[in-house]
Amino acid sequence: MNASKSGRKSQFKLFFRRFCRNKLAVFGLIFIVFIILVALFAPFIAPYGYDDQNVSIRLTKPNSEHWFGTDDLGRDVFSRMIYGARVSLSVGISTTAISMFTALIIGMISGYYGGRTDNIIMRIVDVFLAIPSILLSIAIAATLGGGIVSMLIALSMGAIPGVSRLIRAQVMAECHKEYVEAAKVTRASDFRIMFKYIFPNILSVFIVTFTMGVAGGILNASMLSFIGLGAQPPIPEWGAMLSEGRAYIRDYPYLVTYPGIMISITVFAINMFGDGLRDAFDPKLKGR
C-alpha cells in the first residue's frame, strides 16, 4: 500500500519538478490562476458595473478614478475588462471542451476500428479540413446569427476536424501495443478497451491539446466578436471591446490597447503553460 502511494506521489513530484524548471510555463500557470480568480470574483474587484453608463464622462483618458479610462458611452474600461475575463475564459474553455469531447469520440472510433470505418469518417473529416477552420467558424456563426451560443457552436465545429485527426493518430499508435491485445484476450469489450486502456494512455496528449485549444478558443472568440459575429453589446467580451474601440483608435488608442494586451498576454500565458505541460509529460522530447 505504502509503496505505491509514495510511488505515485514521487511520480507527480518528478512531473512537477520538470514543469517548474520551465520558468515561462510557471509564469503561464500563475497568470492563468490569476485570471481565473479575477473572473470568478469580478463583481467584487471591478469598481463599476460593466454596463454602467455615464455619458457626461465619455471618452476620458485614464485617470485615478477610471484607471483605463472610459469608452464612448462613459463605461469604465477597467471594469469591463475584468468582466470580460469571464466571457473570454468561459467561451475558450467551453468551446474546447465541446470540440475535444466530440473529437475524442470520433478519433477513438476511427482509430480503434480502422479499416472501412476509419476511411469513411476520415474522408468526411477531410472535407471539413479542406475549409480553413476560421472560415468554417465564420460561415457557421454567420448562418446562426450573432450571440454567445452560436459563437460556441461555430468555434467548436471549427476545431473538431483537426483534433479528431490528432486523436485518431494517437489511438492508432496505442492500438499497436501489446497491452491492447492482452485486453482483448481478457475478454474486455471494445468500449472498455477504448476508455479504460487507450484513453488513460493518451491522456497527456489530450490535456496538452486541451490547453492549447483554450488559447486558440479565446483568440478565435475575440476574432468572431471583433467582426461582430460573437458576443453582442453590451456584453464585455475582449474582442468585442476591441471592435467598439476601433472607431476611436486615432484619438483614444487606450480603448483598444488594454483589451488587446489582455488577449495577447492571456493567450501567451496559456500557450506557455501548455508547452511546459507537454515537456513535463514527455521529458524525452526536451533538449533533443
Helices (H), the chain: 2-21, 23-40, 42-45, 77-113, 115-130, 133-144, 148-175, 178-185, 190-192, 199-226, 238-245, 254-281
**Cβ at position 100, least distance to another protein in Å:** 19
Alpha carbon distance 206, 203 (integer Å): 5
Alpha carbon distance 283, 288 (integer Å): 10
Q: Of 125 and 198, which CB lies nearer to another protein in the complex structure?
A: 198
The residues that touch another protein, with contacts defined as CB under 8 A, are 1, 3-5, 7-8, 177-179, 181-189, 192, 197, 200-201, 203
DSSP state of 49: -
**Cβ at position 183, least distance to another protein in Å:** 7
Q: Of 18 and 80, which CB lies nearer to another protein in the complex structure?
A: 18
Per-residue burial over 12-36, b if 16 or more Cβ lie within 10 Å, else e, is eeeeeebbeebeebeebbebbeebe
**Cβ at position 177, least distance to another protein in Å:** 5
**Cβ at position 35, least distance to another protein in Å:** 31
Q: Of 3 and 285, which CB lies nearer to another protein in the complex structure?
A: 3
DSSP state of 75: -
Q: Of 171 and 214, which CB lies nearer to another protein in the complex structure?
A: 171
Report residue 28: phi and psi, to 5°: -55, -50
Give 96's contacts (C-beta < 8 A, 6+ positions apart): 156, 159, 210, 213, 214, 216, 217
Q: Of 105 and 182, which CB lies nearer to another protein in the complex structure?
A: 182
- Taking alpha carbons only, the member of 253, 251, 252, 231 closest to residue 240 is 231
User: What nine digits make up the cell of 207?
Assistant: 490535456
**Cβ at position 94, least distance to another protein in Å:** 27
Q: Of 197 and 226, which CB lies nearer to another protein in the complex structure?
A: 197
**Cβ at position 5, least distance to another protein in Å:** 7
- Taking alpha carbons only, the member of 264, 214, 210, 268 closest to residue 239 is 264
**Cβ at position 170, least distance to another protein in Å:** 14
Q: Of 79 and 170, which CB lies nearer to another protein in the complex structure?
A: 170
**Cβ at position 180, least distance to another protein in Å:** 9
Q: Of 183 and 212, which CB lies nearer to another protein in the complex structure?
A: 183
Alpha carbon distance 119, 34 (integer Å): 44
